[in-house]
């Protein structure tokens, strides 16, 4: 019996001696695995950018619209585009044909011009025979000149009596079109517009109480009112001087960056920068995390990440004000903080 006990004890001791290094190795591996690589930034005192809010729509400026009209009464033969369609320079938009009344106008101008020329030639013959006076000749010449001018004007306006295709002057978007096949369009009546995307503007509305802070040249950040919309930049071009009767807001027009691809008619939310305030303690937005509507940061101290609850204030889109919980010059994690736990070892990149 004693011999059996001896072998049991010996086996247990041997197992402990063999397993101990392995256990220590596992602990060392775990320690290595918990060292996280992070990037940090320093909490600093600096002015926060200040903004006023605005909402509006993307519209074409007046000088960016090609207005479609014809100087004569016409019948719509075919419409090649619809509102909202992208077009290239030179694309066919609508095909028109002068109406019978318009054709009659041109024919009448041609007939009047031929008759005036005939009368002028006859008057010159009579004048040469001393059967017409200088006054008769001057009147005939004046009538012929007037008839020729009327004829030239009609020919320029009609461009012939055949079908006439209107084309886009520039690449852009068909903003609106009221023509339908078979309809009659009155002379000089606008029935469609083609907008140049380079002429898109933010048509914004600002509360009257805040308009004194807005000025031409002020930077604007905005995004489309749709899920996942990226933030974009613009610059204020004009600030209105009276309240819009419909919206009860004061209009502000801003020009988006030239390389920005936007959709006409889209609704936008904008922030107009009005200046900077007094210096406040702040950190980059990426440093602030949230849990149950409470803000916190990870502060790096002696190679470890320490979770710290903070009270936040203003947010200018780049920095967040820290009202309490953090001191100036403390290092906070800005990249890699989502994977951290309180007390975890970190390596600053």
Compute the distance between CA of residue 15 and CA of residue 48 in angstroms, rounded to an integer: 64
Residue 32: per-residue pLDDT: 46
pLDDT of residue 310: 95
Domain 35-49+279-348: which CATH number of 3.40.50.12280, 3.90.550.10, 2.40.420.20, 1.20.1250.20: 2.40.420.20
Average pLDDT of the chain to the nearest whole number = 86
Cα 46 → chain centroid: 31
| Residue 40 CA to its chain's centroid (Å) | 34
pTM of the model: 0.59
- Residue 313 β-bridge partners: none
Query: Could you tell me where in the chain the CATH 2.40.30.170 domains are found?
Result: 51-62+197-277
Q: Hey, which residues does 298 pair with through a beta bridge?
A: 307
**Burial (CB count <10 Å: 0-12, 13-18, 19+), residue 248:** exposed
Residue 298 is encoded by which pair of tokens? Answer: 């990870």
Q: How confident is the model at residue 55 (pLDDT cuts 50, 70, 90)?
A: very high
Q: How confident is the model at residue 107 (pLDDT cuts 50, 70, 90)?
A: confident
Listed in sequence order, the residues at least 6 apart from 67 whose beta carbon sits closer than 8 Å to its beta carbon are: 190, 192, 193
Cβ–Cβ under 8 Å, residues 314 and 4: no
**Degrees, nearest 5: CA angle 37-38-44:** 160
Confidence of residue 282 (pLDDT cuts 50, 70, 90): very high
72's CB contacts (< 8 A; 6+ apart) are 98, 102, 105, 157, 158, 187
**Distance between CA atoms of residues 51 and 56, nearest Å:** 16
Give the 3-state secondary structure of residue 342: coil
Does pLDDT of 111 surpass 80?
Answer: yes
Q: Tokens 């990037």 map to which residue?
A: 39
Give per-residue pLDDT as tens, 257-267: 987 778 888 99
Q: Which of 261, 283, 265, 273 is nearest to 329 (CA)?
A: 283
pLDDT for residue 27? 43
Please tell me the total number of residues recorded for the chain in this structure. 349
Q: What percent of the chain has pLDDT over 70?
A: 89
Main-chain phi, psi angles of 303, to 5 degrees: 80, 10
Across 313-322, average pLDDT: 87
According to DSSP, residue 216 is labeled T
pLDDT of residue 258: 81
Confidence band for 160, pLDDT divided at 50, 70 and 90: low
Res. 21: pLDDT tops 80: no
Higher pLDDT, 250 or 258: 250
Residue 30 has pLDDT above 50, yes or no: no
CATH 2.40.30.170 for domain 51-62+197-277, yes or no, is yes
Q: What is the pLDDT of residue 317?
A: 77
Average pLDDT over residues 331-339: 93
Residue 253 has pLDDT above 70, yes or no: yes
Residues of the chain with CATH 2.40.420.20: 35-49+279-348
- What is the Cα–Cα distance from 45 to 47, expressed in whole angstroms? 7
Q: Identify whether the C-beta of residue 236 lies closer than 8 Å to the C-beta of residue 218.
A: yes
336 or 34: which carries more pLDDT confidence?
A: 336
Report the first-to-last Cα separation within the chain, whole angstroms: 63
Q: What is the pLDDT of residues 198-231, one digit of tens each?
A: 889 999 999 999 998 899 999 999 999 988 888 8
pLDDT digits (tens, 9 = 90+) for 167-205: 998 888 999 999 999 999 998 899 999 999 888 999 999
């Amino acid at each position: 019996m004693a011999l059996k006990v001896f072998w049991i004890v010996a086996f247990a001791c041997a197992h402990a001696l063999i397993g101990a290094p392995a256990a220590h190795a596992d602990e060392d591996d775990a320690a290595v695995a918990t060292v996280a690589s992070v990037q940090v930034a320093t909490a600093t005192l600096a002015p926060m950018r200040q903004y006023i809010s605005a909402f509006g729509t993307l519209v074409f400026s007046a000088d960016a619209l090609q207005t479609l009209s014809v100087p004569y009464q016409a019948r719509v033969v075919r419409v090649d585009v619809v509102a909202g369609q992208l077009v290239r320079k030179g694309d066919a938009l609508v095909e028109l044909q002068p109406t019978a009344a318009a054709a009659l106008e041109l024919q009448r101008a041609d007939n009047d011009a031929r008759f005036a020329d005939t009368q002028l030639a006859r008057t010159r013959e009579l004048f040469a025979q001393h059967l017409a006076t200088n006054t008769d000749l001057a009147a005939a010449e004046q009538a012929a000149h007037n008839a020729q001018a009327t004829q030239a004007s009609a020919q320029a306006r009609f461009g012939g009596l055949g079908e006439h295709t209107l084309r886009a002057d520039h690449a852009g978007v068909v903003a609106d079109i009221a023509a339908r096949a078979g309809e009659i369009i009155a002379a000089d009546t606008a029935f469609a517009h083609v907008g140049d995307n380079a002429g898109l503007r933010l048509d914004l509305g600002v509360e009257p109480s805040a308009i004194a802070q807005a000025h031409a040249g002020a930077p604007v950040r905005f995004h489309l009112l749709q899920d996942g919309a990226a933030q974009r930049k613009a610059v204020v071009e004009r600030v209105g001087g009276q309240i819009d009767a419909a919206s009860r807001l004061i209009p502000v027009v801003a020009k988006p960056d030239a390389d920005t691809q936007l959709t006409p008619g889209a609704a936008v939310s904008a922030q107009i920068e009005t200046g900077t305030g007094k210096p406040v303690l702040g950190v980059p937005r990426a440093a602030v995390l949230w849990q149950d509507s409470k803000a916190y940061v990870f502060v790096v101290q002696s190679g470890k990440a320490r979770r710290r609850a903070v009270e936040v204030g203003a947010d200018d889109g780049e920095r967040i004000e820290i009202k309490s919980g953090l001191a100036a010059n403390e290092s906070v994690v800005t990249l890699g903080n989502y994977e951290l736990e309180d007390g975890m070892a970190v390596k600053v990149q």
